[in-house]
Every structure is written in C-alpha cells, then in structure tokens.
Amino acid sequence: MDDAAKKTVLTHFSYGLYALTVKHDGEEHGMTANWVTQASFEPPMVAVAVENSSMTIGMIRDAHHFAVSVFEQSQRDLAGKLGRTSEQAPNKLKGIKTKPAPVSAAPVLADALGWVECRVVATLPSGDHTLVLGEVVAAKTLASRTQGNSRPPQATARTRPSRRRSCSGPEPGRANPPASGTGCDPRPRRRRGGQVRACPTCSR
C-alpha cells in the first residue's frame, strides 16, 4: 500500500462535530465525536465509531441507547470541553445545559442545532474503535435557532479526524494547533469554500 497516498486521500474526507451522549444507571456521560453518519433511510439509522478505550462505549452497550447532538459553528469551545478525556474531566457535562431524550433519558444539548436519540441494533469491532449502529427513535430540530434568521446557524464541519488521545483545549500563547498530542486549538480555521475545520475531536 502507498501509505502517503492513503494519508492524503483520507485527509480529504469530510466530518462533522457532534456530541455523543448516554445515560445508564443514573450516570450521564458525553464526548465529542466526528465519525458519525446516517446509515439508512428506512428505518432511519445512524452509525458512530467510538474508541474502544473510552468510557462511552461501555455505557452505550449497557444502556442500549445513545443520543447525538449536532454542534453549530459557535459551539467549538463546548466541543473542546466534551473532547477531553474522562480522566481529565470526570464530569464533562457539568455546567452544560441539557435535557433528557424521551426514550432513554440520555442527555441532549439544549442549545444544539438538533439531536437524534437512537436504539442500538448492532455493534461491530473496527480496529481501535467500535462501530455502533443505532435506529433513530426520537429526533428534534431546535426551530427557534433556525427560524426568523436571515442567516441560520450552520453545523460545524472539519476534515482530517484527530489522532490525539486527548483534547485539553488551546495551549496558552499558541496561535496554531500544536504538532504533538498535548493540546489543541478549537478556534476556526477556514478552508476554501467556507468550510470550517475545528479541533478538537478525540473519540472519548
């Protein structure tokens, strides 16, 4: 395999930024995810890749449900907070406005563009991640954030998924993202066509 070509092609894949949340036995947990995609029209299904070492994947298996909230472009700092590891921030949802999804009570972001709640129908080992397939059982678009605006809020998109094991927020004095995995800069970096690349995204 041509490793250089592989890396080049994969950097052109586009990804979003989402909050993946779950609730089990009264415990709530959330993380920032970017490997999320619709997988079926009928029934509507969503697939998400979750790192095997994360707390999230175990809770999803136990709860049999999860929720995905869509970040808008102004919520990059919030994505950075949820992108931290559980060791760095044991209670990442503290101070974040959420509300319970109707089926599993998984917390969804009250200020997101919208959210879906899913019932787990299958999981599949995927290297250092687990691919979770969920059927959408509830959804809501936060119309108050999109109606009556001449320029409605936009979802946050990025390319090149992060390989960092943690996202600890911007490093003081750093104008650009660090080369190593010791931190990140969640400020926008505009690309051709107006797409916004946003860091961080580590699957924890």
* 163 within a domain of the structure (yes/no): no
- Residues 6 or more apart whose CB falls under 8 angstroms from that of 111 comprise 75, 97, 142, 145
- Give domain status of residue 197, yes or no: no
Q: In this structure, is residue 162 part of a structural domain?
A: no
Whether residue 9 is contained in a domain is answered as no
Residue 126 lies in a domain: yes
Closest CA to 102 of 148, 143, 67: 67
Domain count, the chain: 1
Task: Specify if 161 maps to a domain.
Answer: no
Residues 61-114 have pLDDT tens digits of 999 999 999 998 889 889 988 988 877 777 889 899 999 999 999 999 999 999
Domain that holds residue 119: 14-156
Instruction: Give domain status of residue 21, yes or no.
Output: yes
Q: Identify the bridge partners of residue 109 per DSSP, sorted by sequence position.
A: 98
pLDDT in tens, 157-194: 554 454 443 343 333 333 333 333 333 444 444 444 44
Residue 18 CA from chain centroid, whole number: 3
